[in-house]
Amino acid sequence: AQLEALIADMKAGKVETLVVDRCNPVYDLPVASGFAEAIKSVKNVIFIGDHLNDTAVLATQVLPVSHFL
């Protein structure tokens, strides 16, 4: 229920900044959820991760996460 509410708020323009930390909801969520389209309505999308993925490509900022090397 919270995810559906977030997606609805994103579509309605109520979410100004979204932080995505080491996950890929654009790929992992069903297309029917509308997440991939909704993320395009968010002004600031900050992706934190160790590689580019479907969600990172749609982000306005991509920040690397440190790793053991």
Among the listed residues 25, 23, 22, the one whose alpha carbon sits nearest the alpha carbon of residue 39: 25
Whether residue 38 contacts residue 10, with contact meaning beta carbons closer than 8 Å, is answered with yes
Torsion sign, CA atoms 38, 7, 20, 15: positive
pTM of structure: 0.91
Residue-wise pLDDT for 3-56, tens only, equals 999 999 999 999 999 999 999 999 999 999 999 999 999 999 999 999 999 999
Task: Output the pLDDT for position 43.
Answer: 98
CB neighbourhood size of 52 (10 A) = 12
Residue 61 φ/ψ, nearest 5 degrees: -135, 135
Biggest CA pair distance of the chain: 41
